[in-house]
């Protein structure tokens, strides 16, 4: 049953040291505010799962929260490398991290399997690809009906998922519009789910029934955080802040500059700062 909380309390109650966590969103609805709160609370030894890790994972890795990342492609969208992630892998700064790399198809299927309560995902994939030579979690199995060789990977079952969405009803149902990505599957695959939203409305009675609505019994905590996806965008509310992604490439290239930026924009700022950042976008 969904519980309405402040972002501070939702993260405090649902994200623990050593947890496996998924901060999901694809192109838009990326839960930056939730990740910043995790950084402020100083969580440590996290295993992070995410399709296309971008700058929120770069920031969490750079601040030393992370011991392991399970992912498919890592980069600053439209710009280039995740420099803090690369520094951790190559130089162990601020700590060494373990990486488990998959294809997009494997990650999506692993979330689907987790959402269905299955132990693994089975799909066509990795044929002729080199990832299975460096990732021991990628297995091959033979279909008992056709004899076809298929790929198998462990299901994703995070301790907690964090997503951002447009609206929550007062009952605790959550509306996700635009590009859905794997947010729904991440919530259903996780033991706990925290959702930050742009606004809280009375109900969804006037909405089309085929829209993606996560019912209140799939959600643990809801926090009202306008602008909580910035610098990614929220469909129908604000646009992507492309300048912020370009700035991050410069900020993240230098350890001292990175730490200065993080102190000013994360450690000394709260969730209310996100609403200010999206004004004018």
pLDDT in tens, 197-213: 999 999 999 888 888 89
To 10 degrees, what angle do helices 55-62 and 242-251 make? 30
**Structure-token pair, residue 243:** 């300048």
pLDDT tens digit string along 148-169? 999 999 999 999 999 999 999 9
Percent of the chain with pLDDT over 70: 100
- Is the confidence at residue 171, as pLDDT, over 90? yes
The confidence score (pLDDT) of residue 132 equals 87
Which residues face 233 on adjacent strands?
28
Find out whether the peptide bond into 229 is cis, omega within 30 degrees of 0.
no
The confidence score (pLDDT) of residue 224 equals 98
Rounded CA-CA distance 134/203 in Å is 48
Q: What mean pLDDT is reported for the chain?
A: 96
Per-residue confidence at 50, pLDDT binned at 50, 70, 90?
Answer: very high
The confidence score (pLDDT) of residue 225 equals 98
- Is the confidence at residue 36, as pLDDT, over 90? yes
Which residues face 81 on adjacent strands?
none
This prediction has a pTM of 0.96
Rounded CA-CA distance 218/187 in Å is 7
Please give the angle made by the CA atoms of 184, 187 and 189, to the nearest 5 degrees.
105
CA distances from 254 to 62, 196, 251, 257 (A): 11, 31, 6, 5
Percent of the chain with pLDDT over 90: 90
Mean pLDDT of 78-100: 96
CB 157 within 8 A of CB 188: no
């Amino acid at each position: 049953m969904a519980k309405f909380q402040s972002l501070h309390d939702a993260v405090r109650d649902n994200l623990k040291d050593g947890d496996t966590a998924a901060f999901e969103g694809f192109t838009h609805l990326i839960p930056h505010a939730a990740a910043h709160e995790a950084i402020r609370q100083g969580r440590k030894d996290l295993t992070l799962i995410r399709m296309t890790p971008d700058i929120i994972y770069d920031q969490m890795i750079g601040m030393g929260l992370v011991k392991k990342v399970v992912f498919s492609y890592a980069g600053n969208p439209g710009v280039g490398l995740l420099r803090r992630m690369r520094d951790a892998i190559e130089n162990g700064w601020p700590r060494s991290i373990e990486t488990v790399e998959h294809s997009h198809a494997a990650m999506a299927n692993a979330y689907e399997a987790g959402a269905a309560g299955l132990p693994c995902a089975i799909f066509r994939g990795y044929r002729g690809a080199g990832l299975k030579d460096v990732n021991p979690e990628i297995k091959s199995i033979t279909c008992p009906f056709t004899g076809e060789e298929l790929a198998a990977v462990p299901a994703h079952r995070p301790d907690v998922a964090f997503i951002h969405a447009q609206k929550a009803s007062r009952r605790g149902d959550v509306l996700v519009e635009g590009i859905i990505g794997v947010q729904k599957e991440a919530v259903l695959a996780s033991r706990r789910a925290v959702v930050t939203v742009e606004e809280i409305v009375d109900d969804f009675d006037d909405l089309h029934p085929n829209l993606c609505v996560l019912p209140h019994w799939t959600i643990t905590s809801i926090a009202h955080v306008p602008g909580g996806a910035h610098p990614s965008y929220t469909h129908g509310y604000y646009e992507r802040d492309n300048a912020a992604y370009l700035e991050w490439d410069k900020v993240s290239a230098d350890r001292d500059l990175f730490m200065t930026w993080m102190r000013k924009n994360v450690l000394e700022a709260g969730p209310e700062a996100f609403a200010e950042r999206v004004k004018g976008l």
